[in-house]
Amino acid sequence: MENVLHLLEYQQYRCALTGRELTPQTAALDHIVPIRFGGEHIIENAQVLHKDVNRAKGSLTSEEFISMCGEVVRWSDASITRKDSQ
């Protein structure tokens, strides 16, 4: 528990991926290297995310999740542009 509190302090009580403010109700511990890729249950392989972000990320790596989010933004922007040009 002490290690998790230090991690929260290090992250300035912000989600490691979005910067959202974290509270005890919204914080969720996440594996940086997912277990499916051989990640370990150690504090060095942990980051604290907002629970909604952690749910969306699932077992993706941070890089996979960020890439997917980029795809969503690009598709959304393109959809808006298509609608505006009609």
- Residues 32-66 pLDDT 10s: 999 999 999 999 999 999 999 999 999 999 999 99
C-alpha span between 86 and 1 (Å, rounded) = 55
Q: Of the candidates 10, 74, 72, 80, which has an alpha carbon nearest to the alpha carbon of residue 47?
A: 10
- Per-residue pLDDT of 10-36, as tens digits, reads 999 999 999 999 999 999 999 999 999
Tell me how far apart the alpha carbons of residues 12 and 83 are, in angstroms, rounded to a whole number.
Answer: 40
Q: Which amino acid is at 46?
A: A
Question: What's the pTM value of the predicted model, to 2 decimals?
Answer: 0.84
pLDDT over 80 (residue 85): no
pLDDT score recorded for residue 81 = 75
Q: Which residue segments constitute the domains of the chain, with CATH numbers given? A: 2-84 (1.10.30)
